[in-house]
Amino acid sequence: MRLGLKLLRERATVGSFWWPYISNLPEAFSVPIFFSGEDIKNLQYAPLLHQVNKRCRFLLDFEKEIKRVVENLAPENHPFGGQDVNASFLGWAMSAVSSRAFRLHNKALLDGPLTDIPMLLPLIDMCNHSFHPNAQIVQEQDSKDPKMLVVAEAQIEKNTPVTLNYGCLNNDLLLLDYGFVIPSNPYDHVELKYDGVLLDAASMAAGVSSPIFSSPNQWQQQILSQLNLHGDDALLKVTLGGPELIDGRLIAALRVLLASDKEAVLKHDLNTLQSLSVEAPLGVSNEIAALRSVIALCVIVLGHFPTKIMEDELLLRENVSSLTKLAIEFRIEKKSMIINVMKDLTHRVKMLSKEKVSVQVIELCTGSYFWSSK
């Protein structure tokens, strides 16, 4: 927010050197803090609603603090030229900085390590985002007069936009800070709370008999504590989606709590148990039960959205405002991502089920051979 205050100060300064740049900044931003109450509800996703409310409360509290500091200042000492700096102005500054600033190296004092500070880079901040950019920012650190360069990483054809990668961000952060969402974002995910009762319900819905997520054995509790999913200071937020597909701590917990053989579990380290790329470390039946439980959990998560994708798509065909459209697009992407997770896991279950059948056939044939040879 410090950079935002500097931006507001320059905006209020008559004849500011930066006025040509500031005057071309957007007058309004499409980030959720400027959504109407109805459009905030239209997001339909509790973790994002929490972040929006948190930012709005911060701006209201910061407005009070700013007014307290400047209320008795003489006009010539007022940092904003006597202008009333309210939550709306502060929100504009915060949005301008969050959507346009880059974190670049700043040389530390006394030859210490380089620190990252946010900087506004005129013209460079006109570059849009892409996970597959055609350019990157290069900072010349050895020069006495540091320079920021945009360097093409490939041949850029005429009339082709120059793009940069803003980072491996999910749609929550892209919407909060930049005011857009990326369709089929590979880094998007949903957050949920690790809850034994919820997992019991999901497992039972998946056909798993007698799940014990809400009442694990002592040795299972010890592993959950190592995963930071049990105890007073446990971190219970887990995710579905993104590059991992299933939060490593969640899949490990499912595997462990659906296992009955303590010794078989203790043969594996936590990294193995948390990896979805390690296929069925505790056996095929255990893996199928764990994956089916996650699929059922996805169904439960989808059920918490008040509308279905088909209904959302019909709403987009109506004459809705740009911010309403953005909110609907955000929740469509969340639901689509969950469905894609379900499709991926269903495919894995099918492949494992074939493998399980093959193993059973081999065991049956082998058993018959030994029986007939006696």
Residue 227 sits in a domain whose CATH number is 3.90.1420.10
Show the domain range for 62. 2-178
> What's the rounded Cα separation, in Å, for the pair 237 and 249?
10
Instruction: Give the tens place of pLDDT for each residue, 7-40.
Output: 999 998 889 999 999 999 999 999 999 999 999 9
For residue 374, being part of any structural domain is answered with: no
> Which tens digit of pLDDT belongs to each residue from 258-301?
998 999 999 999 999 999 998 899 999 999 999 999 999 999 99
Are residues 204 and 167 part of one domain?
A: no
* Of 154, 178, 202, the domain-final residue: 178
Distance of CA 174 to the CA centre of its chain: 9
The CATH number of whichever domain residue 41 belongs to comes to 3.90.1410.10
**Residue 279 belongs to some domain of the structure:** yes
| Cα(135)–Cα(12) distance, integer angstroms | 34
The predicted pLDDT at position 368 comes to: 45
Based on the fold, state whether residues 243 and 360 are members of the same structural domain: yes
Does 227 share its domain with 104? no
pTM score, two decimals?
0.88
Q: Are residues 19 and 78 in the same domain?
A: yes
Interhelix angle 2-12/87-100, rounded to 10 degrees, is: 110
User: How far apart, in whole angstroms, are the C-alpha atoms of residue 4 and residue 142?
Assistant: 28
Number of structural domains (the chain) is 2
Percent of the chain with pLDDT over 70: 90
182-188 contacts, C-beta under 8 A, 24 or more apart: 182/129, 182/131, 182/333, 183/333, 184/333, 184/336, 185/333, 185/337, 186/131, 186/242, 186/243, 187/131, 187/242, 187/243, 188/241, 188/242, 188/333, 188/334, 188/337
In-domain check, residue 251: yes
Q: Is residue 199 part of a domain?
A: yes
pLDDT value at 361 more than 60: no
pLDDT in tens, 50-104: 999 999 999 999 999 999 998 888 888 888 888 888 999 999 999 999 999 887 7
7 φ, ψ (degrees, to nearest 5):
-65, -45
Helix (H) or strand (E) holding 191: strand 189-193
In this structure, are 161 and 211 located in the same domain? no
The average pLDDT across 142-165 equals 86
* Rounded Cα–Cα distance for residues 266 and 252 (Å): 12
User: Among residues 178, 199, 216, which one ends one of the domains?
Assistant: 178
